[in-house]
Amino acid sequence: MFRRILHELILSTPGAIGAIFLDHEGETVEMLHDRPFDTDDHDIKVMGAYQGIFLMNLRELCDRTGIGAPHRFKVEFAEAKVLSRDLKDGYYLVFLVDRTAHEGLAWRNLEKCREQLLAEM
């Protein structure tokens, strides 16, 4: 079921590269990518785990400053964007898109994916 949800996210977003659903320890629950990579699945999983570290640090910073919990964040590279979205109980979702992807559509589809994952958790 999680794989189907990630598949819908990738299919509905032109420029999508891949999506990773991870647990509170940065372990991959499910992963799917649509393009060949010059790297292996392990490297993609490591990238997802690092997004979890960033999200954890961001949560702590936001808590200390009293600005509220972060819900999403983006890391942008020359050729790709990594969109991350908090789920619940430490679970989170990472969505990789190329530089041609429409970011608003990617965020909207990521939110829909989030809602579907939460309904299955």
For the chain, the structural domain boundaries read 2-120
pLDDT at 37: 56
**Per-residue b/e over 51-63, b at no fewer than 16 CB within 10 Å?**
bbeebeeeeeeee
User: Which residues are within 8 A (CB) of 6 and not within 5 positions of it... i.e. 6 or more apart?
Assistant: 19, 21, 30, 31, 32, 113
Alpha carbons 88 and 105: distance in angstroms, whole number: 23
26 within 8 A of 52, measured Cβ to Cβ? yes
pLDDT of 91 above 80: yes
User: Which residues are within 8 A (CB) of 2 and not within 5 positions of it... i.e. 6 or more apart?
Assistant: 21, 29, 30, 117, 120
pLDDT at 61: 93
3-state SS, residue 32: strand
pLDDT at 35: 64
Domain 2-120 falls in which CATH fold? Beta-Lactamase (3.30.450)
pLDDT confidence tier of residue 98, bands split at 50, 70 and 90: very high
pLDDT at 4: 96
pLDDT at 45: 87
pLDDT in tens, 23-77: 999 999 999 987 655 667 887 888 899 999 999 899 899 999 999 988 899 999 9
Alpha carbons 23 and 30: distance in angstroms, whole number: 10
pLDDT in tens, 68-85: 988 899 999 998 999 999
Q: Which tokens belong to 41?
A: 């699945």
